[in-house]
Structure 1
Amino acid sequence: MSNRSSITEFLLLAFADTRELQLLHFWLFLGIYLAALLGNGLIITAIACDHHLHTPMYFFLLNLSILDLGFISTTIPKAMANSLWDTRAISYTGCAAQVFFFFFLISAEYFLLTVMAYDRYVAICQPL
């Protein structure tokens, strides 16, 4: 008989123990999340609808907005749900998925910012 145990969920550290502060945390993060969704959605809509904005610089900004939407949607909704429903648990697979998407999207965003910086460098230092 072997001694085996498996991890099915993690317990997250709460921001606050009082219910009022948890609700304040929820509303604050909801406002930040909605502002990010609205701002990035407006950028995506403006670039997609206006054909004058189909240049490389706006192509990079469009992709940066899409990455930012994915990046902020990785962790904020779970934090808001935990604050609203007064829970602290996250499943092992949910935690692994959050970590994977967090690092994938942040590395893609850094790569895109590097490409954007190199594009501006070439445009300024070696113009056509």
Structure 2
Amino acid sequence: MTRRWRDAVLPTIGLVAAAVAVSWTITFSVPVVVPTASDTADVAFGWPLPWYHQDLSRFAYADHPVEVTVVGDRTDPVPTSVDWLAFSGNVALTALVLWPIALVLIRGLARLVLRARENDAPTGET
């Protein structure tokens, strides 16, 4: 693997991994508002593109609208469908947002490291 190719691929892999983690975390931690009882039959999670759909109609919510999060019951799972194309779109959009942020942070960190090296360099005084 040439150095030039490696210098492009490794940061891209890191960026995609971070985007997957952020998209996954948003989907499983941000609640969704369900306005009516009939809407519980297909609750869509994921932002900005809904990609994780669950049928939560078996739960009798007393009041609507209601905030719900992803149900992860392993003993009695709810019907779930996943739209991997929409998830890929979320990952791409998240990566587009993370890329300039990571670039600014990396450049700032590089400047701090260079300044620290310059301050630690011997001045030639005896």
Asked if TM exceeds 0.5, the reply is: no
- Structure ranking higher on relative contact order (CA contacts 8 Å, 6+ apart): 1
More helix, by proportion: 1
Larger radius of gyration: 2
TM-score, length-normalised on structure 2?
0.31
TM-score, length-normalised on structure 1?
0.30
More strand, by proportion: 2
